[in-house]
C-alpha cells in the first residue's frame, strides 16, 4: 500500500495586512521587511479560528477528492496555536465537518507539524490500519505574537491547509520516503510559554523573579543558521535514501519562513531557484499551514502534473525538521 494525496484545500482569514499597515502599529518599514524576509503582506484573523479555518480547508480537500466526510478514517491536525488545550482541535474539526467515523487528534511539531502529520498518516496507511486520512495544518499565530516585538511579529500570518491522503495500490505515485529529525537541545531559540504550574502545593509564578513572556520568543539569527544548514542536509539525506538526485526533482515545496532561507537552501543544494515555488510574499509564515496552503495553490493552478517528483521540507520550533519525496 502507498499513500497518495487525492485532494487539497486551504482557507485564509479575510483580512489582509500589508507591511505599510504594520508601520501604523510599530517602528518598521515595508522596505526592511521585504529585504530581510520577502514578505509583503499576511492574512490576520478578525475572528476566524484554528478550527474554523481547518474545517473550511478540509471541506475543500474532500470535495476535490470526491470523498464524503463519513468516509474519513482519521484526522491529524497539526497546530501550535489551538483555541483549546482540550478538546483537541482535530475533534472540533471532526464535529464541524461531520466526520463521524474518524479518529481525530492533534500533532504539535510547530512548522514541521504538517510534514510529520503526513509521515504519520503514511505509517497508518502502510500498516493497513486506515485508508482515508485528512492531514491539516492550521494556525492563528497572531494571538501568540508580542505586537511590540517588531523582529518577530512581522514574520507570521494566519491560515490553514489540508490534504486528503488515500491508500492506493503500490505504483509510481505516492509518498516514496521521508527523513524526520528533532533537536530538543536547541528548543529555546524559538519558544512560547504555556501557563505556569499553579496548584495548592506550588505556584510557579511566585517562584520567579521575572515574569516570563507568554508570547513567541525567537533568536532569529540562530533559527536562520539552523534552517540553512539542516534543511539542505536533510533533503540530501532523503534523496540519497531513494537514489534520486537534485536534478531529478521537479519542485521543492519548502516551509515558507523567509525568502532568504529558501534561496540559501537552493544555493547549498546547487538547485535552480525556479524549482522553489513561493507564496510567502502574500501570506507570511503560517507555521504548520505553509506547506499545505502552497501545495493547494500549486494544485489548483495546475502546476502539479501526474508523475512530478516533489520534495516537501518543513523546519521550525522544537527544533524539528524533515523532508519527504512525493510522486504526484
Chain positions contacting ligand COA, by CB under 6 A: 28, 32-33, 36-37, 111, 150-151, 154-155, 218, 220-221, 223-224, 257-258, 261, 285, 316
C-beta of residue 312 within 8 angstroms of C-beta of residue 117: no
Shortest distance, position 57 Cβ to ligand COA, whole Å = 20
CB of 31 to ligand COA, least distance (A): 9
Q: Catalytic residue among 111, 153, 192, 234, which?
A: 111
Q: Of the two residues 232 and 316, which places its CB atom closer to ligand COA in the complex? A: 316
Cell numbers 492531514 correspond to 135
Q: Which is nearer to ligand COA, 67 or 150 (CB)?
A: 150
Q: How far is the CB of 192 from ligand COA (least distance, A)?
A: 12
State the Cα torsion 47-50-52-54 to the nearest 10°: 150
523546519: which residue's cell?
315
DSSP code for 285? B
Q: Is the peptide bond before 129 cis (omega within 30 degrees of 0)?
A: no
111 is catalytic: yes
Residue 122 bears catalytic tag: no
Please tell me the distance from the alpha carbon of residue 280 to that of residue 276, in angstroms, as a whole number: 12
CA 90 to each of CA 50, 105, 135, 147, 148: distance values in angstroms, whole numbers, following the listed order: 10, 5, 10, 28, 31
CA distances from 314 to 95, 196, 235, 311 (A): 28, 29, 10, 10
Nearer to ligand COA by Cβ, of 37 and 180: the residue is 37
Which of these is catalytic: 88, 285, 299, 324?
285
DSSP, res 129: S
* Cβ(235)–Cβ(252) below 8 Å: yes
**Residue 214 DSSP SS3:** coil
Q: How far apart are CA 173 and CA 184, in angstroms?
A: 34
Q: Are strands 202-203 and 309-316 parallel, antiparallel or unpaired?
A: unpaired
Please identify, using beta-carbon distances, which residue of 124 and 321 lies nearer to ligand COA: 321
Grid cell listed for 179: 527523513
174 versus 316: smaller Cβ distance to ligand COA = 316
> Which C-beta is closer to ligand COA: that of 32 or that of 130?
32
Cell numbers placing 119: 509521515
CB of 112 to ligand COA, least distance (A): 9
Active site residue 285: yes
CB 72, min distance to ligand COA, A: 29
Question: Which residue's Cβ has the minimum distance to ligand COA?
Answer: 220
Nearest distance, CB of residue 4 and ligand COA, angstroms = 28
**320 φ, ψ to 5°?**
-130, 150
Active-site residues, by number, are: 111, 255, 285
Amino acid at each position: 500500500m502507498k499513500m497518495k494525496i487525492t485532494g487539497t484545500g486551504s482557507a485564509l482569514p479575510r483580512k489582509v495586512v500589508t507591511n505599510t499597515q504594520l508601520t501604523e502599529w510599530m517602528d518598521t518599514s515595508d522596505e526592511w521587511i521585504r529585504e530581510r524576509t520577502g514578505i509583503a503582506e499576511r492574512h490576520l484573523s478578525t475572528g476566524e479560528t484554528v478550527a474554523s479555518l481547518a474545517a473550511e480547508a478540509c471541506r475543500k480537500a474532500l470535495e476535490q477528492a470526491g470523498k464524503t466526510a463519513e468516509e474519513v478514517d482519521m484526522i491529524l491536525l497539526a497546530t501550535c496555536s489551538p483555541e483549546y488545550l482540550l478538546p483537541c482541535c482535530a475533534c472540533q474539526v471532526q464535529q464541524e465537518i461531520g466526520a463521524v467515523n474518524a479518529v481525530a487528534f492533534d500533532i504539535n511539531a510547530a512548522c514541521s507539524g504538517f510534514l510529520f502529520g503526513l509521515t504519520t498518516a503514511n505509517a497508518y496507511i502502510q500498516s493497513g490500519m486506515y485508508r482515508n486520512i485528512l492531514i491539516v495544518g492550521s494556525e492563528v499565530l497572531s494571538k501568540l505574537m508580542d505586537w511590540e516585538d517588531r523582529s518577530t511579529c512581522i514574520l507570521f500570518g494566519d491560515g490553514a491547509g489540508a490534504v486528503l491522503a488515500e491508500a492506493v495500490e503500490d505504483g509510481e505515485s505516492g509518498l516514496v520516503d521521508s527523513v524526520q529529525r528533532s533537536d530538543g537541545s536547541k528548543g529555546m531559540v524559538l519558544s512560547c510559554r504555556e501557563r505556569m504550574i499553579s496548584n495548592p502545593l506550588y505556584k510557579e509564578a511566585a517562584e520567579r523573579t521575572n515574569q516570563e513572556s507568554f508570547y513567541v520568543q525567537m533568536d532569529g539569527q540562530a533559527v536562520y543558521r539552523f534552517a540553512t544548514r539542516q534543511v539542505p542536509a536533510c533533503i540530501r539525506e532523503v534523496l540519497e535514501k531513494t537514489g534520486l538526485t537534485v536534478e531529478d526533482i521537479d519542485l521543492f515545496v519548502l516551509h515558507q519562513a523567509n525568502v532568504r532561507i529558501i534561496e540559501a537552501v537552493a544555493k547549498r543544494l546547487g538547485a535552480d531557484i525556479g524549482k522553489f515555488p513561493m507564496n510567502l510574499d502574500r501570506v507570511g509564515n503560517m507555521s504548520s499551514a505553509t506547506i499545505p496552503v502552497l501545495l493547494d495553490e500549486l494544485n489548483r493552478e495546475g502546476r502539479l502534473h501526474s508523475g512530478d517528483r516533489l520534495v516537501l521540507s518543513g523546519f521550525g520550533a522544537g527544533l524539528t525538521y524533515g523532508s519527504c519525496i512525493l510522486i504526484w
